[in-house]
Amino acid sequence: MGEAARKKILIVEDDPDTVEAVSLVLEKSGYSTVSAPNAEEGLKKVRSERPNLILLDVMMPAGTEGFHFVWTLRKDEDAQLRDLPIIVLTAIHESSPLKLYPEQSDGTYGPYEYLPVQGFFDKPVALDKLVEEVGRLLGETK
Amino acid sequence: MSERAGRILVVDDEPGMREGCRRILTSEGHQVTAVESGEQAVVLFTKGAFDTALLDLKMPGMSGIELLAQLREKDPNCIYVIVTAYATLETAVQATRSGAYDYVAKPFTPEELISVVNKALAMHWLRMEAAELRQAAERNLLLVATEQSRTRTIIQSMADGVMVTNREKMLVLFNPALLRLLGVKGKTPELGQPLSKEVFPADLLAMMEEVYAEGQATMVARELSGGPPNLAASISVVRDEAREPLGLVTVIRDITEVKSLQQRLSDFVSLVAHELRSPLGAIAQYLDVILAGVTAGSPEKERQILVRCRERTGALSQLVKDLLDFSRLGHQVERRLAPLALGEVLEETVAFAAQPAASRKISVILEVAEELSKIEADREEMRRLFTNLVDNAIKYNREGGTVRVTGRQTDGFVVVEVSDTGLGIPRGAIARLGEAFFRVRTAETLQIVGTGLGLSICKQIIEAHNGHLEIESEEGRGSTFRVLLPRSE
């Protein structure tokens, strides 16, 4: 597979070792990766790097900033970016003060509106399943 | 001989009578004082000096009846016996009317005298005993009254609300705190009436009903719902000696503090869980990578991963150690305060930091003023405090940077500054430094291993020593942590 053909995955995650581990696996499977440590950097990288898929950790420092990342992207003017597949990495099924569908008072999205993403993975991520799901979302058959 | 010696006064103008009485009564074991006139008797007589007095009715000067009146006034507990030569019913009646206990007619036999005197003495002692009992009873009553008023004062002063209801569910007693906690304004509940639904929360009334109905329950304690927030009620059944229920004592308590403590504890536990989860997740992810064979054929990559795993477990161990310190400091156990020369501690701290500093080409400079005042401090905690600050100054420094540790003193304080030439702290974050688990999160700090507890441990140590922490920082230039500790002189 040539460099131009490699699909690019953006990993938005604050733990550098988790980024490294996930990157290693994805690169081994033929993807290129870029990363951002928070939502703000992540949104910049979406525009500058134009990835094919995003892995997003919702447990970032500012609490719900992962959710805002999703909603901001889904309202982007650029249709290509707006429809990027997103897989959310989360430990949310464990006890956590985070709500999966946080209420938003400014009206950008309604309370309990379903988070418009393509998949959820519990952390630590089952790597083989992740690779499989990434492949499926990118329309590849393995 | 009589069983108990009495003190007897004999007043008689005839020397023979005085002598006769003295002899007879002394032989009975009594103490006898004899005088020849009422006037002498009055001078001699004081309250409590005599148990019985024998007064001759007919004397020149003051008569026996007259003397009787005067002596009775001085001592109503003494028993008076009239001695008369004319034993008529009339004189006997006159004597007893005047307050004499008995009379004896002259001439009398020794036995007659002894009998009359012993009877009088017995009467006297009985009277004294009765008087003592009466006094004791009065003292007890006074005690009971004091006790009641004390109990009432205690109940009125209690911060907890108290009320008592009887078997008929009528209000018997309540204190001002009860009304304050329940937020009762104006319509004070009436004693002797059932509890009004307008004053008492329905939940409380329901709880009380439950205890009334069960009769067995001795204590129910739970938070009230529906009324003012953060109140808990304890209800206990009051029983008489036969274990029959007499009514209920209900105590209302403000549990705002308890609940806030519970909330803080629960927040802290989820913070700790979160702090444990990130490194554990990263380690697990790395191990999965190796197990999946992703790094097969790349021993260098594998080694990098294992080194990182080792570092992360090291950080977890440090987190556990910090948590234990954090909890220990919170309880202030084993703090050993002694006069301490801080210069020595700073030298040790800087010596320990030499190796990690050298690995990042950071120079550590120590400048301590000569004859630095001693402080009252726990040596171990001071070592911990400055080790944390110097470690941070190295960790958050740039490669090839400088850490400067200075010690000097002002009028009241020894001042230690730890300065670095590192990343600096964003303005908004300075105030939050020292909060448990707060860490400045930037692209640079993400690479630095830390627990977010170090500075909060420092703050606790400084506060425990009545000191003060000042932080100055400029992003990209470096930070200064200034510790002020009171001098011991």
CA-CA distance, B301 to B238, in Å (whole number)? Answer: 76
pLDDT in tens, B54-85: 999 888 888 888 899 999 999 988 999 988 87
CA B70 from centre of chain: 58
pLDDT band, residue B326 (cuts 50/70/90): confident
Based on the number of CB atoms within 10 Å of its own CB, is B51 exposed (0-12), middle (13-18) or buried (19 or more)? buried
Average pLDDT, chain A: 79
* Helix H or strand E encompassing B416: strand B413-420
pLDDT in tens, B426-436: 888 888 887 77
Most confidently modeled range among A90-94, A135-139, B434-438: A135-139
CA B56 from centre of chain: 68
* Helix H or strand E encompassing B253: strand B245-254
Percent of chain A scoring above 90 in pLDDT: 39
- Cβ contact (<8 Å) for B281 and A124? yes
pLDDT in tens, B385-433: 999 999 999 989 999 999 999 999 998 899 999 999 998 888 888 888 8
Closest Cβ opposite residue A37 in set B286, B294, B443: B443
Chain A residues with CB-CB distance to B273 below 8 A: 95
- Cβ contact (<8 Å) for B441 and A124? no
- Cβ contact (<8 Å) for A25 and B294? yes
Q: What is the mean pLDDT of residues A79-95?
A: 77
What is the residue whose two structure tokens read 């290693």? A24
pLDDT band, residue B483 (cuts 50/70/90): very high
pLDDT score, position B408? 94
Evaluate if residue B156 carries a pLDDT over 60: yes
Provide the CB-side half-sphere exposure for B177 (13 A, CA): 17
A interface with B, Cβ–Cβ < 8 A, is 14-18, 20-22, 24-25, 28, 37-38, 41, 59, 61, 91, 94-97, 123-128
Residues contacting residue B73 through CB under 8 Å, at least 6 positions apart: none
Considering the entire predicted model, what is its pTM? Answer: 0.56
pLDDT score, position A21? 95
pLDDT band, residue B241 (cuts 50/70/90): confident
pLDDT score, position A104? 47
- Cβ contact (<8 Å) for B285 and A124? yes
pLDDT band, residue A136 (cuts 50/70/90): very high
Evaluate if residue A107 carries a pLDDT over 50: no
Closest Cβ opposite residue A16 in set B294, B295, B447: B447
pLDDT score, position B161? 94
Sign of CA dihedral A134, A136, A138, A142: positive
Based on the number of CB atoms within 10 Å of its own CB, is B259 exposed (0-12), middle (13-18) or buried (19 or more)? middle
Residues contacting residue B155 through CB under 8 Å, at least 6 positions apart: B162, B173, B175
pLDDT score, position B336? 83
Contact call for residues B301 and B295 (beta carbons, < 8 A): yes
- Cβ contact (<8 Å) for A15 and B301? no
The nearest CA of chain A is from the CA of B281 a distance in Å of 5
Q: What is the mean pLDDT of residues B300-327?
A: 88
Q: What are phi and psi of B460, to 5 degrees?
A: -60, -45
The nearest CA of chain B is from the CA of A131 a distance in Å of 12
**Full strand arrangement of the beta sheet holding B31-35:** B31-35, B7-11, B52-56, B79-84, B102-105
pLDDT in tens, B330-347: 666 667 889 999 999 999
Percent of chain B scoring above 70 in pLDDT: 95
More confident site: B115 or B198:
B115
Most confidently modeled range among A45-54, A83-92, B90-99, B128-137: A45-54
Average pLDDT, chain B: 87
Evaluate if residue A64 carries a pLDDT over 90: no
Evaluate if residue A73 carries a pLDDT over 70: yes
Tokens found for residue A56:
């997003």
Closest Cβ opposite residue A15 in set B282, B288, B294: B282
pLDDT score, position A105? 45
Contact call for residues B42 and B71 (beta carbons, < 8 A): yes
pLDDT in tens, A19-62: 999 999 999 999 999 999 888 899 999 999 999 999 998 765 55
pLDDT in tens, B360-380: 899 999 999 988 899 999 998
